[in-house]
Chains A and B, each alone.
Chain A
Amino acid sequence: MTKAMVIAEHVDAARELCAGARSLADEVVLVAFCAAPDNCADRVAAVEVPSGCALDDAYATLIPFLEEEGPEVVLVEPTKRMKSVAGRLAAYMGTAVITDVAALEDGVARGMYYGGVGQRDQRPTTSCAMYTIQPGVFAECVPSGENQVVVLDWVAPAAALKVLSTTPIEKKGVDLTKADVVVAVGRGFGSAEELQVAEDLAASLGGGVGCTRPLAEGADLMPAETYIGVSGLVVAPKVYVAAGLSGQMQHMVGCAKSGLVVAVNKDKNAPVFKQCDYGLIGDVATVLPALTAALS
């Protein structure tokens, strides 16, 4: 009899991970920080986070439960707070979490190394295997179960975090994961005004503008939720225009599944030209408007 535990904070992830857990183990226990999806696990532990407390601190509540259940496998949703909870549980179990798993077969987890420069297969050697799993890995699996409810009372850790406020991030603009065209901008753009040519091109094709990580963090020219890559969004539009970005692996893994990739860079030796269908050597300030004009 094998047992798997799933820990998630969003319904979609809870459902997919439970389905995956079902394919790996006989018994599935879900710990949900959201409404549990219907019929997805044998048992569902609902954890209510008291107001002012941080979800990260749920580890104190979960450690006794984990010990009691003793699962061989723990599948966790890869969010910041869940990674924090998983790390605490792993520390307690004397193991390490294998993170951001893109494929899982016979306990061997495939993930990225150096942000995509390499692909690494790893296997846990401890009795409890813990993974955070990327969305889509278990898309083909089907969840099942009675959803028997277990109530866990909140246990506060010794030095608890105090949440003073929470402000939702308003997502503006096009959903890049669903757009047919994404124009991605990089450090070749130095100011908000310069971005206009990218916005014009995206608008003329009914697409959206994404970016590389330095443009969202540091340069702050673009919202954080629009950067594409290993630590950001993964997109697969029909057309991806990589403009003024060098084409580092950490970025390119986020758009590898795109249909047509067009690169615009003023440096003819930029690595992006080895990863595109068409490349245009030139300044984004002139090339993008010319493309927009040619397309209208």
Chain B
Amino acid sequence: MKILVAFKILPDDQDIRVAADGSLDFSKAKPIVSSYDANAMEEAAQLAKACGAEVVGITVGSSAIDDSKVKKNALSRGLDRLVMVADDTCDNLDSHATAAVLTQIAEKEAGWDLILCGDGSADNYAQQVDVQLAAALGAPSVNGVTSIKLQDGCIVCERALESSIETVEVSLPAVVSVTPSIAEARVPGMKDILAAGKKPVEALVLETDLSASVEVVSVKAPDQASRACEVLEAGEDRAIEKVAAAIRAAL
């Protein structure tokens, strides 16, 4: 069995600065694995362990994602190898175009049974690439999945919808997007990291025609409601009383 995990590499939002003109400054933000995709990797690693499958990480992005540290980090999370398209024309693709490039990778990795996606990318959180990818590959897909059971030729997934829990059977090959609760992302250990340095990474040449279906008009920091920010040591004289009074006044 072969499991692909689609994960995104993007700038760490902890290090995005807001410039004086309200634009976002990414210059200090290092590339990291999109946080909820790490849960998908862990689930893939656990499924693979249970049935002896191979796990291949697949990702698309600008040339900045071809970074030794982030590749090693991804590979230390239970992947056997990594296949990527790192091309500057693939920076900030929309979900349709992203799926098209991922399709190129998946077709090269023919014979896969399952593609796992995360709950959504940390930047777009569109929850669309998984569905678009399934459509492009002609495979069934299911989202919001909180548990996966492998069966003969199919999987049984539990999914969390807004007001119900649904159990669905999905025939393989299939694309599944999982929520973070499916498996806690591992904190890679020293041996995971050392082994990661030796795992194969393949960079494919982009062979997909890309056309954007969405144009970004502007990105800026939102106006924040200005708040008083009166911060007190809780042990300070009368601090609690002061806050209690403010709460009473607000009700």
Contact = CB atoms under 8 A, between A and B. Distances in A.
Answer whether A and B touch in the complex at a CB cut-off of 8 Å.
Answer: yes
B225 A268 contact: no
Nearest to B144: A80
B232 A278 contact: yes
B131 A83 contact: yes
A216 B241 CA distance: 31
Interface stretch (A22-30, A40-48, A96-104, A147-155): A96-104
B231 A165 contact: no
B216 A121 contact: yes
Contact of A162 (B138, B169, B241): B169
A295 B250 contact: no
A290 B136 CA distance: 58
Interface stretch (B69-77, B160-168, B191-199): B160-168
Contacts of B169: 161-162, 164
B128 A99 contact: yes
A54 interface: yes
Contact of A118 (B24, B119, B171, B228): B24
A106 B24 CA distance: 25
Interface of B: 13, 16, 24, 94-97, 99, 119-120, 122-128, 130-132, 134-136, 138-144, 156, 159-171, 174, 179-181, 184, 212-222, 224-225, 227-235, 239-244, 246-248, 250-251
The residue among A96, A160, A217, A281 with the most chain B CB atoms within 10 A of its own CB is A96
Contacts of A113: 24, 123-124, 219
A161 B142 contact: yes
A200 interface: no
B231 A217 contact: no
Contact of A231 (B120, B140, B233): B120
B247 A96 contact: no
B165 A280 contact: no
Contacts of A86: 128
Given A162-B169, A290-B240, A278 B132 contact: no
Contacts of A263: 231
6 closest A-B pairs (Cβ-Cβ)?
A87-B131, A282-B234, A91-B135, A279-B231, A294-B244, A260-B250
Interface stretch (A64-72, A122-130, A186-194): A122-130
Given A117-B24, A125-B212, A99 B126 contact: yes
Interface residues of A, number: 90
Contacts of B136: 91
Contact of A84 (B141, B170, B230): B141
Interface string A180-213: 1100000000000000000000000100000001
A165 B213 contact: no
Contacts of A275: 224, 227, 229
A235 interface: no
A168 interface: yes
B215 A122 contact: yes
A261 B247 CA distance: 9
A165 B219 contact: no
Contacts of A160: 140
A96 B161 contact: no
Contacts of A287: 234, 240
A99 B144 CA distance: 16
Contacts of A231: 119-120, 125
B225 A256 contact: yes
A85 to B, nearest CB: 9
A278 B135 contact: no
A60 to B, nearest CB: 11
Contact of B241 (A80, A161, A256, A294): A294
B40 to A, nearest CB: 13
Contacts of B215: 122-125
B238 to A, nearest CB: 10
Contacts of A56: 141-143
